[in-house]
């Protein structure tokens, strides 16, 4: 059985994701689609709209056969670390291909870009340093440096585009790790990653879907045509059970408490807190009445909204530099869910998996999963007291989601 891997957040799963899975399966001829999916906190430093278990169900209904959790210390990192962890997981699962969505749509252009930057690395790094010194954020500096190096290069991808950036990092990670997976890309259809409004009849970005959900206070009728039925029903079920879709405002009281009661010295131990930003964070926490107000007071040209959000996630979960940097590669495969077809694949590959598979939390693996468990507990604090208890304990009580389908197929 051959597998194609995808790296996902599914926040939430929508028609564009279903299109990607269908194309990835068809173009690679894979029998199985394996998703490396972020847990309850995401790469842009945000709480996921729904828990990882609810999003796993949506993924399985949407065409994935196996969902593996991307551990917290990779899922909440900048693009290169995020991609490195995901590639290592999918390689350990035995994937023959890695498929990603991109604005480019041409894998040769990615390979050409990587080759070009390797040849120009000294100048590229010098330009990045120069643009950072000018007060730009690191992501902005890398984009400016690339444009300065190759403003009219025909066979390179635009590294100012978010999915192109991730695709570039996936292929770089494959090469750096000596992974056997072949990269392949699917052109994003219709909606741009950052689109905040609905532009087509059936495809919309996750950003626009989240904006619509929060603008309508949990009413989801206007997004129905942009998501599969399983996502629509899953969103309704989650809201009815927990009374919310998670966003940063739910966690503001906890973050504010952490910031006000922490000393600058204590904050400096938290991952990504550096260059004196701890003083700015503490000061803003004493003045702001909401998370959005706090963010407006903290962000600067150098510190992007995304970087500050990631710092806030690490403060919220008390993720120290030591904890985040303990392992530079994943140490386990955390199984969140599978279809009948996925279960057959895992049975077929059980002796060939390159990392140990964890399907339930136990005393034997609790320490290994400590950051993921802590993140899930913090995530659960957003719900009301009764439902919060269920989310707080979910990592201990929830077995992998099993989706039974006719003949083991979607």
The annotation places the binding site for ATP at 7-20, 101, 163, 188
In angstroms, the Cα distances linking 75 to 123, 314, 322 are 30, 12, 17
Burial 112-134 (b: 16+ CB within 10 A, else e): bbbebbeebeeebeebbeebbee
Q: Which residues pair with 38 in a beta bridge?
A: 70
Treating both helix axes as pointing N-terminal to C-terminal, what angle do 107-119 and 162-177 enclose, rounded to 10 degrees?
70
Q: Which residues pair with 69 in a beta bridge?
A: 37, 334
E strand spans, 78-203: 97-102, 182-187
DSSP 8-state secondary structure symbol assigned to residue 198: -
- Cα–Cα dist 244/214, whole Å: 10
Q: List residues forming the annotated binding site.
A: 7-20, 101, 163, 188
What the block records as the tokens of 35 is 């998703």
What the block records as the tokens of 238 is 């989650």
**Residue 99: φ, ψ to 5°:** -110, 135
In angstroms, the Cα distances linking 292 to 288, 289, 298 are 8, 9, 10
Q: Answer yes or no: are the C-beta atoms of 38 and 3 closer than 8 Å.
A: no
- Cα–Cα dist 114/172, whole Å: 7
Measure CA of the first residue to CA of the last residue in the chain; give whole Å.
Answer: 16
DSSP three-state, residue 226: helix
């Amino acid at each position: 059985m051959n597998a194609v891997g995808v790296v996902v957040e599914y926040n939430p799963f929508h028609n564009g994701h279903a299109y990607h899975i269908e194309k990835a399966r068809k173009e690679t001829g894979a029998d199985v689609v394996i998703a490396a999916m972020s847990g309850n906190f995401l790469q842009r430093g945000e709480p996921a709209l729904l828990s990882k278990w609810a999003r796993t169900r949506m993924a399985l209904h949407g065409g994935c056969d196996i969902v593996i959790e991307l551990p917290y210390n990779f899922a909440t990192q900048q693009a290169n670390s995020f991609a490195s962890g995901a590639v290592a997981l999918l390689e350990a699962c035995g994937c023959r291909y890695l498929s990603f969505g991109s604005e480019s749509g041409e894998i040769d252009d990615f390979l050409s870009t990587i080759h070009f930057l390797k040849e120009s690395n000294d100048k590229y790094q010098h330009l990045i340093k120069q643009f950072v010194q000018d007060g730009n954020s690191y992501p902005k500096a890398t984009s400016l440096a690339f444009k300065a190096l190759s403003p009219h290069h025909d066979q390179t991808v635009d590294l100012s585009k978010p999915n192109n950036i991730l695709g570039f990092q996936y292929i770089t990670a494959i090469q750096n790790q000596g992974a056997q997976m072949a990269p392949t890309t699917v052109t994003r259809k219709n909606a741009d990653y950052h689109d905040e409004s609905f532009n087509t009849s059936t495809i919309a970005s996750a950003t626009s879907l989240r904006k619509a959900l929060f603008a309508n206070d949990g009413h989801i009728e206007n997004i129905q045509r942009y998501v599969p039925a399983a996502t629509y029903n899953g969103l309704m079920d989650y809201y009815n059970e927990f009374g919310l879709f998670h966003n940063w405002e739910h966690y503001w009281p906890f973050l504010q408490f952490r910031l006000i009661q922490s000393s600058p010295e204590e904050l400096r131990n938290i991952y990504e807190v550096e260059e004196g930003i701890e003083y700015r964070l503490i000061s803003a926490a004493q003045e702001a009445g909401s998370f959005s107000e706090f963010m407006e007071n903290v962000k600067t040209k150098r510190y992007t909204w995304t970087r500050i959000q990631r710092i806030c996630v690490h403060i919220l979960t008390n993720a120290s530099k030591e904890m985040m940097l303990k392992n530079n590669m994943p140490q386990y495969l955390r199984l969140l869910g599978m279809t009948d077809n996925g279960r057959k694949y895992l049975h077929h590959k059980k002796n060939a998996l390159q990392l140990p598979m964890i399907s339930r939390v136990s005393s034997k693996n609790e320490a290994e999963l400590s950051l993921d468990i802590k993140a899930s507990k913090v995530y659960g604090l957003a719900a009301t007291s009764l439902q919060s208890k269920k989310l707080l304990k979910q990592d201990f009580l929830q077995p992998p989601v099993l989706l039974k389908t006719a003949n083991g197929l979607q």
